[in-house]
Amino acid sequence: MVFPALAVVGIFSLYPAMDSFLLSLHRIYLGLPSLGEPFIGLGNYTQLFQDPVAHQAFIVTLGFVILSTTFELLLGIGIALVIHEHFKGRGWVRAAVLIPWAIPTVVASQMWRFMLNDQYGLVNLMLFGDQVEAYVPWLADPWMAFGAIVLADVWKTSSFAGLLVLAGLQVIPDDVYDAARIDGATAWQRFWHITFPLLKPALLTALLFRTIDAFRVFDLVFVMTQGGPGDATQVIQFYGYKTLFTEGRVGYGTSISVTVFVAILILSLFYVRTVGSKLLEQERA
Amino acid sequence: MAGFTLTQLCKSFGHTMVLNEISLEASDGEFVVLLGPSGCGKSTLLRIIAGLEAQSSGSVNIGNRVVDSLPPRDRDIAMVFQQYALYPHLTVRENLAFGLKMRKESTAVIEKRIGDAAELLEIHELLDRKPKELSGGQRQRVAMGRAIVRKPKLFLFDEPLSNLDARLRASMRVELKKLHQRLGVTMVYVTHDQIEAMTLGEKIVVMDQGHILQIGTPDQIYHHPINPFVAAFIGNPPMNLIEGSVHLEGQYLEFHAGDFALRLETHAHIETAIHSDSAVLGIRPEDIKLDIPSEPHLTLSGFIDVVENLGGDHIVYLISQEQHLTARTTPNSRRRAEDPITAYVPLQKLHVFVNQVRIPLELYYH
Ligand SMILES: Nc1ncnc2c1ncn2[C@@H]1O[C@H](COP(=O)(O)OP(=O)(O)OP(=O)(O)O)[C@@H](O)[C@H]1O
Ligand SMILES: [Mg+2]
């Protein structure tokens, strides 16, 4: 019974990964087939580690990961605390909160691009009304553009983080809170001394999902900024895409993808090892 | 002084009335047991006393202070929950310290109180463990420890022993009694176990469907149950209850239930005749004697249905005049099913309820 599963994994994950890795060991220019496809060993990788554009892309990605994950977790906790309460219409609110998450990223990105448009964008209209001369070309400014992709990502995925946190909240028994109230804990103390520590496993799970996901960000950037202005929002995946598909440097582009893949693999293993073991330990409580 | 008084407490959740005009008084140091079937509102009442739930109307007074507008933290109470409700991420020591820390007690005081409680409950070696590393009985001790260290005026227990196995429950029951004797603090104890109620309570409050049916000492509740419900709820095996009609007139009491007929001559003279078709005759199993008693008695003849051997006791199920009766007697190996049997019930042990209310028959025999 294990064999079919192994076969599926082999065909659909292992083979493409191995093939990509092999590709990344060659120099391939799509536009110049006359150069052939010479094997250059780890040449693409040594080049990548010295490539200033790649460094810049890495820093942008890291900034994006840190900022978006932080905001998403904070907002997620807030959302979870609200929709955990009993109130009329809670079911509707829970459903509504999930809408941004349910919208495909490409659609959501396009929506944000329209909203931030410098001439007919909703954001400018709401801020400045008919003072057209005050309209801001948000996505033309490096910092604003970066802020915009973070904002779009936070808007879209906070509710998912919230859902994970909510699952964590729901396993905390009510009578623990009753006991804490009788023990004299104020609402803030109950959150800080009871909810927060007991929520740690859920928060770590959310953190894991969100960092890994944020690390792979591509479609937001592709739709909203194309990595611009300049290289201000060029995240690593987008850089890889660009080298591969617009510049046709198949070997080099693939080496970027493989590097991202390995980085995420290491990150996941790290989480599962350190955080994950603690997480499982806590859940057995 | 920390007795408490409940005045006409009512509680509704939406349109359902869960507590109805609950009034109750307890003196300082008294052990009060709230007893009733599942869903009768015991926990809700306890939570209202604790301040975890707000009453719809009525008032709670603890230690001569109206606490209706005070949150739980200011009521000077401690509560032990059915599921223990220990903080799962904290060690036993931290669990005990939690309430004291929230009240900003000094470290020295906290250490001292934890030491005292640990000694009292013999949980010293558990102090550095997490709740999940404890057995049910140990968790229960820790939960009590968490209540004790706070030195509250009033202890509230919500079925604290119901998750333990029978043997442990019995031993914890005794420990709880000792604890009460040692601390001398007022305690309110919720249970649906009549044995716990009888053994622990100084005052038993029998509840059903949000009403208080009877308040009394264990002996009063046992010997003078106010209605058939209370009579059947207390005692094991439960009291024999025979439904029929009754006629009281002059010096005579007549009871009929099908073929079962009973005519008693009472000492008192009843001026106004009482007649009811909704009467219940109650006989406790241990009041059915198989040897002729010296006092005035009622004689029942019939045959044995089943005999259960409990070791120290025999439970004899007998049928007399088509009525199934349960008797609790001393063992006798010669009894067999189908054997004829004659049983006797001392007259002053009979309970008669007319229209759901006890007729104080004992008055007629003393
Ligand atoms: N928060 C609530 N909302 C609505 N109804 C409730 C709520 N809490 C309790 N009830 C109802 O109130 C009634 C009394 O509940 P309560 O928990 O006080 O019973 P109990 O006597 O403690 O029962 P048990 O022995 O099973 O613990 C029940 O019918 C219950 O369904
Ligand atoms: Mg209850």
What is the tens place of the pLDDT at every residue in A227-238?
A: 778 788 888 888
User: Is A2 part of a structural domain of the chain?
Assistant: no
Q: Report residue B57's pLDDT band, with 50, 70 and 90 as the boundaries.
A: very high
Q: Do B85 and A173 touch (CB under 8 A)?
A: yes
How near does any CA of chain A get to the CA of B34, in Å? 20
Q: Report residue A280's pLDDT band, with 50, 70 and 90 as the boundaries.
A: low
Q: Tell me what the pLDDT averaged over chain B comes to.
A: 89
What CATH number is attached to the domain comprising A126?
A: 1.10.3720.10
* Closest-approach residue (CA) in chain B for A199: B89
B101: number of Cβ within 10 Å: 16
Q: What is the pLDDT of residue B200?
A: 92
User: Is A284 part of a structural domain of the chain?
Assistant: yes
pLDDT tens track for B236-264: 889 999 999 988 877 788 888 888 888 87
Q: What is the pLDDT of residue B1?
A: 54
Query: Is the C-alpha dihedral spanning B324, B326, B329, B335 positive or negative?
Result: positive
Claim to verify: residue A28 and residue A150 sit in the same structural domain? no
Domain boundaries defined on chain B: 4-233, 240-363
CB B336 within 8 A of CB B330: no
Ligand nearest to the CA of B35: 1
Claim to verify: residue A139 and residue A212 sit in the same structural domain? yes
Q: Tell me what the pLDDT averaged over chain A comes to.
A: 83
- Structure token digits, residue A91: 């079911």
Q: What is the pLDDT of residue B157?
A: 94
Give the CA-trace dihedral at B293, B295, B300, B301, to 10 degrees: 40
User: Is A9 part of a structural domain of the chain?
Assistant: no
Claim to verify: residue A206 and residue A139 sit in the same structural domain? yes
User: Is A7 part of a structural domain of the chain?
Assistant: no
Claim to verify: residue A235 and residue A257 sit in the same structural domain? no
Claim to verify: residue A24 and residue A103 sit in the same structural domain? no
pTM of the model: 0.80
Claim to verify: residue A149 and residue A166 sit in the same structural domain? yes
Give the CA-trace dihedral at B256, B260, B265, B267, to 10 degrees: -80
Claim to verify: residue A212 and residue A73 sit in the same structural domain? yes
> What whole-number distance in Å separates Cα of residue A46 and Cα of residue A42?
6
DSSP state of B64: S
The residue whose CB lies within 8 Å of the most ligand 1 atoms, and thus the one to mutate among B18, B33, B161, B206, is: B18
- Ligand 1: nearest atom to the Cα of B210: 14
Q: Report residue A277's pLDDT band, with 50, 70 and 90 as the boundaries.
A: low
User: Is A285 part of a structural domain of the chain?
Assistant: yes
CB B322 within 8 A of CB B259: yes
Residue A146 pLDDT exceeds 90: no
Claim to verify: residue A76 and residue A130 sit in the same structural domain? yes
For chain A, positions 157-186, list CB contacts with chain B under 8 A. 173, 175-176, 178-186
The architecture that CATH gives domain B4-233 is 3-Layer(aba) Sandwich (3.40)
DSSP state of A134: G
For chain A, positions 198-237, list CB contacts with chain B under 8 A. 198
Residues of B in contact with A284 (CB under 8 A): 132
Claim to verify: residue A149 and residue A179 sit in the same structural domain? yes
CB B41 within 8 A of CB B49: no
Q: Is B13 in the pocket of ligand 1 (CB under 6 A)?
A: yes
Structural domain boundaries enclosing A114: 58-248
Claim to verify: residue A228 and residue A207 sit in the same structural domain? yes
> What whole-number distance in Å separates Cα of residue B7 and Cα of residue B30?
18
User: Is A24 part of a structural domain of the chain?
Assistant: yes
Q: What is the pLDDT of residue A285?
A: 45
User: Is A165 part of a structural domain of the chain?
Assistant: yes
What DSSP assignment string belongs to B281-340?
Answer: EEE-GGG-BSS--SS-EEEEEEEEEEEEE-SS-EEEEEEETTEEEEEEE---TT--TT-E
Q: Does B139 touch chain A (CB under 8 A)?
A: no
Claim to verify: residue A176 and residue A271 sit in the same structural domain? no
Most confident of A130-139, B262-271, B333-342: B333-342
Q: What is the pLDDT of residue A281?
A: 57
User: Is A6 part of a structural domain of the chain?
Assistant: no
Question: B240-363 belongs to which homologous superfamily?
Answer: Nucleic acid-binding proteins (2.40.50.140)
> What whole-number distance in Å separates Cα of residue B32 and Cα of residue B201?
6
What DSSP assignment string belongs to B198-265?
Answer: HHH-SEEEEEETTEEEEEE-HHHHHHS-SSHHHHHHSSSSPPEEEEEEEEEEEEEEEEEETTEEEEEE
Residue nearest to atom 25 of ligand 1 (CA): B38
Q: Report residue B300's pLDDT band, with 50, 70 and 90 as the boundaries.
A: confident
pLDDT tens track for B205-217: 999 999 999 999 9
Q: Half-sphere exposure of residue B125, counting CA atoms within 13 Å on the CB side?
A: 2
Residues of A in contact with B81 (CB under 8 A): 175, 178-179
- Structure token digits, residue B172: 């914890």
How near does any CA of chain A get to the CA of B201, in Å? 24
Domain count along chain A: 2
Q: Which is more confidently placed, B59 or B335?
A: B59
Residue A27 pLDDT exceeds 80: no
Q: In what order do the strands lie in the sheet with B154-158?
A: B77-80, B154-158, B186-191, B31-35, B203-208, B211-216
Which residues, listed in sequence order, are joined to residue A249 by a DSSP beta bridge? Answer: A29
pLDDT tens track for A79-112: 998 888 888 888 888 888 888 888 888 888 888 8
